[in-house]
Amino acid sequence: MTTEDVKYTSAPSQSNDAYAGVNDDSDGRIFNVGGGDWDSITVAPEGETERIVVNMGPQHPSTHGVLRLILEIEGETVTEARCGIGYLHTGIEKNMEYRSFVQGVTYATRMDYLAPFYNEAVYCLAVEKLLGVTDQIPERATIIRVIMMELNRISSHLVALATGGMELGALTAMTFGFRERELVLELFELITGLRMNNAYIRPGGVAADFPADGVQQIRDTIPLLRSRLKDTANLLIDNSIWMGRTSNVGYLDLTGCMALGISGPILRATGFPHDLRKTQPYCGYENYEFDVVTADTNDAYGRFLIRIGEMEQSLRIVEQALDRLQPGPVMIADKKIAWPSQLSVGSDGQGNSLDHIREIMSESMEALIHHFKLVTEGFRVPAGQVYTAIESPRGELGCHLVSSGGTRPYRVHFRDPSFTNLQSVAAMCEGGQIADVIAAVASIDPVMGGVDR
Amino acid sequence: MGLEENLPSGVLLTTVEKVAGYARKGSLWPATFGLACCAIEMMSVGGPRFDIARFGMEVFRASPRQADLMIVAGRVSQKMAPVLRQIYDQMPNPKWVLAMGVCASSGGMFNNYAIVQGVDHVVPVDIYLPGCPPRPEMLIDAILKLHQEIQDMKLGAHRREQMRELEAHALVAPTTLEAKGLLR
Amino acid sequence: MTETPAAPVPVVPIPVVPDGVSQFEVFHVREGAFGAEGSGDTSGFGGLVELMHMPEPTTRPYGGWFDEVADELELSLTARGLDPASAIEKVVVDRDEISFFIRRDLLVGVLSALRDEPGLRFEFSSGVSGVHYPSDATREFHAVYHLLSITHNRRIRVEVTAPASDPHIPSSVSVYPTNDWHERETFDLFGIVFDGHPVLTRILMPDDWPGHPQRKDYPLGGIPVEYKGATIPPPDQRRSYNA
């Protein structure tokens, strides 16, 4: 390569395209090596260092979703790591400004798609706080919310382990994780009708009560889940290869966590037992006995142990909640807010139950009016702003809700834990090896739907 | 036990199209293009319960150079659309695209500035699968329908003629908006 | 909210309040009950004009531990040489939450006082959220910081405003490094420029995207949906109830 062959182009770059062919114009230096001139290749001039920037692009089997990792490497060591996000930005927050508060649940639920109940719960808690009806939510609805949230925590951690294992090459972890997850998804389908993205938790309560055999099915599944989780744990805990890949990888101590605003398993892996279910309980969490699982190794292995421990604690909470369940309504008594429809499966498919139709068509004019107004217009929420936060499987999930006094939110902003936790990639990975980047990102467990919203 | 045991004289007569179709559908390797919620259902399809290994498809090839089928699973944002097109271009022929979920088929519930309203704006789609997210069984059903289409795919001169016919039809076909009598 | 992109400026007198701070945060004017414009709306609701305003500022005592926090904040600001009366524009206590409205150029001082003073110790910042109030003249952009004190188990909100003509707010990254990406997101979606941010670039939208999508004057951007011969307009252009 002689200097004559170095060509600087200033063509407008439609594509800073790494895949552009040799004839395409692109910015930057173009080295035309003709061959046969190896003896004239000289060492790079002084002061000019070659930077190798590797792009683990948005489509990659091992980055947790559509995450772009831009790594500057020197040999196998990562000197700089940056995240490129935004590949799943859906404009959910803006879209919710054009939908009523109940319709907003269906948007909120699709943000962090592995923990849909948490998104719904934080949004509904915010709406209820703005309405001022937090005390009027029926007890049964609150307990059902806790049951669904804790089952969701189990399924979310299972996916975290499954995909983390797959990314590191432990494919059996993936099959185990998804097999166990099917047990939980069957319960979701039994109770809410959908496996994922169920718009079940609504402002005022939950959409529908448990079916007749719901409680029994959950009780039967719990011991089965326990034994299967033990299998998964035995596969990976004290597994020398797994420990070799995850011990001392993705190190982030308490100072780093507090500076970066990290919450969730990453913060608890430093030994600090910060859990919003204990410090600022919501939905009656102060009535349940469970431990906050911590580890003191500050690394990916500790986070993995925490996730396994949290799944066991979630099973404990579900058992206690099932014992506390009493018959009662599942929607708020105030008819101006309560979602009116009662769905059931009829001969022609799913629709409003015949009892409900009889009530609104022949028995009660008010019920008809409420049904009509609530579904078309929605309820009005007094003006103000509120911030609610809950402990989702990934950390503190917050909802900042501003209402202008109308039927649609003025502004909804979700503080997603993965968005904040992903900022720690640089701190965790710089100075490590490329393979450790994968393990570190897997231990952060970001869900890109929540990151980009 | 299979076909090979029941041949009367050990000779099977068939057409090249059928054999090629059988081979292609028998090991249709998907490219990983899981984006959002549908990606999780796609991973469940690869999991032990809804097993697509029985169709020869459990190997999700990360490299598009080795993949036949791109299952666009999830919402495609404006930032992701060029990446989608690039991955599609890198796949060698023959390739098929399955738009999984309503977001990939038409933009879904996200009719806004950030989402491409249907990946057929970016890549040609062979089969659309509605659902939000579609159940794994629905995905398997769509894949099997695609398998049938691949089995019946014509080759060589037959295909050129078929393409000419389809193009002639498409040039005069009215758009869905203009077509009458659809509201049945 | 079904405003078309070129919504007319409402001609409604905003109550004049001393010190240039509107006591009644009139931030939205709702005209008409339905989104339809130009169609024959014979219901009579088309002439409805309603001022929407946020909860009024609260006077002392605030109740509960809010007074303690407010006192500590004022003391610590005085100790740092900042005048509390000019730094804290107003305090709103609403729905069991306290919001401090801070003058934007003193933001970094106030945030470091909140983080470092032993009586306050709000170590955890939940991020920055932007809100756009186009009808609130000279205070169109709000940046909202939610702070959590793990030591004292309290949450407060700090709110800063900036006019649309000069949407600059000092960056809080030096006090709370976690706000790095949150400020980038607020810049990306609202156009609020955070002065002093190390790398303020777009984070969610493509790098060359024009406009700031979550502003109220930016359309939702949907397309009309065609199905079997019928067309349904996108959500922001439909005839539906006005928010």
Chain-chain contact of A89 with B135 (C-beta, under 8 angstroms): no
Q: Euclidean distance between the first and final Cα of chain C, in Å?
A: 5
CB A152 within 8 A of CB A116: yes
Compute CA distances B45 → A61, A261, B91, whole Å: 16, 36, 22
Amino acid (1-letter code) at residue A277:
R
Q: What is the pLDDT of residue C220?
A: 87
β-strand pairing of B127-129 with B96-100: parallel
Q: What is the largest CA-CA distance in chain A?
A: 96
DSSP letters spanning A377-425: T-----SEEEEEEEEETTEEEEEEEEE-SSSSEEEEEEE-HHHHHGGGH
Q: What mean pLDDT is reported for chain B?
A: 88
Would you call the peptide bond into B94 cis, given omega within 30 degrees of 0 as the criterion? yes
CA A314 to chain centre: 17
For C205, the closest chain B residue by CA position comes to B79
Q: Assess whether pLDDT exceeds 70 at residue B123.
A: yes
Residue B88 has a CB neighbour count (10 Å cut-off) of 19
Per-residue tokens: A176: 């185990």
CA A188 – CA A195 distance, rounded (Å): 6
Edge-to-edge strand order for the sheet containing C141-149?
C88-94, C97-102, C154-162, C141-149, C124-132
Least confident of A61-70, A249-258, B171-180, C62-71: B171-180
CB B87 within 8 A of CB B30: no
Q: Assess whether pLDDT exceeds 60 at residue A16.
A: no
Q: What is the pLDDT of residue A353?
A: 81
Q: Give A376's contacts (C-beta < 8 A, 6+ positions apart).
A: C241
What average pLDDT does the segment B107-119 reach? 90
CA A133 – CA A271 distance, rounded (Å): 37
Q: What is the pLDDT of residue B47?
A: 85
Task: Report which of residues C54 and B96 the model is more confident about.
Answer: B96
Q: What mean pLDDT is reported for chain C?
A: 81
Per-residue tokens: A401: 């809700």
Burial of A376 (0-12, 13-18, 19+ CB in 10 A): exposed
Sort out which chain B residues have CB atoms less than 8 A from C219's CB and list them. 113
What average pLDDT does the segment A75-94 reach? 90
Interface confidence (ipTM) of the complex: 0.87
Count how many Cα atoms sit within 13 Å of the Cα of residue A110 in the half-sphere of its side chain.
26
Chain-chain contact of A400 with C144 (C-beta, under 8 angstroms): yes
User: Which among C220, C229, C230 has CB closest to B112?
Assistant: C220
Chain-chain contact of C97 with A89 (C-beta, under 8 angstroms): no
The owner of tokens 């919003």 is A276
Q: What is the pLDDT of residue A143?
A: 94
pLDDT band at A383 (very low <50, low <70, confident <90, very high): confident
Sort out which chain A residues have CB atoms less than 8 A from C220's CB and list them. 91, 94-95, 98
pLDDT of A345-372, one tens digit each? 777 777 788 888 888 888 888 888 888 8
Element (H, E) at C124: strand C124-132
CA A37 – CA A392 distance, rounded (Å): 60
- With a pLDDT cut of 70, the percent of chain A lying above it is 89
Q: Assess whether pLDDT exceeds 70 at residue A236.
A: yes
Number of inter-chain CB pairs under 8 A, B vs C: 43
Least confident of A47-51, A318-322, B128-132: A47-51
The shortest C-alpha distance from B156 to chain A (Å) reads 30
Q: What mean pLDDT is reported for chain A?
A: 86
DSSP letters spanning A205-263: EESSPPPTTHHHHHHHHHHHHHHHHHHHHHHHTT-HHHHHHHTT-S---HHHHHHHT--
pTM value is 0.87
Least confident of A108-112, B175-179, C64-68, C97-101: B175-179
What average pLDDT does the segment A274-286 reach? 91
The shortest C-alpha distance from A232 to chain C (Å) reads 34
Chain-chain contact of C226 with B117 (C-beta, under 8 angstroms): no
Of A43-47, A50-54, A377-381, C27-31, which has the strongest mean pLDDT?
A: A377-381
Chain-chain contact of A452 with C242 (C-beta, under 8 angstroms): no
β-strand pairing of B69-73 with B96-100: parallel
Put simply, the chain A residues between 90 and 109 with a CB less than 8 A from any chain C CB are: 91, 93-95, 97-99
- With a pLDDT cut of 70, the percent of chain C lying above it is 79
Q: CB of B115 within 8 Å of any CB in chain A? A: yes
CA A203 – CA A124 distance, rounded (Å): 5
Task: Report which of residues A265 and A345 the model is more confident about.
Answer: A265
CB C202 within 8 A of CB A452: no
Q: What is the pLDDT of residue C16?
A: 38
Q: What is the pLDDT of residue C25?
A: 61
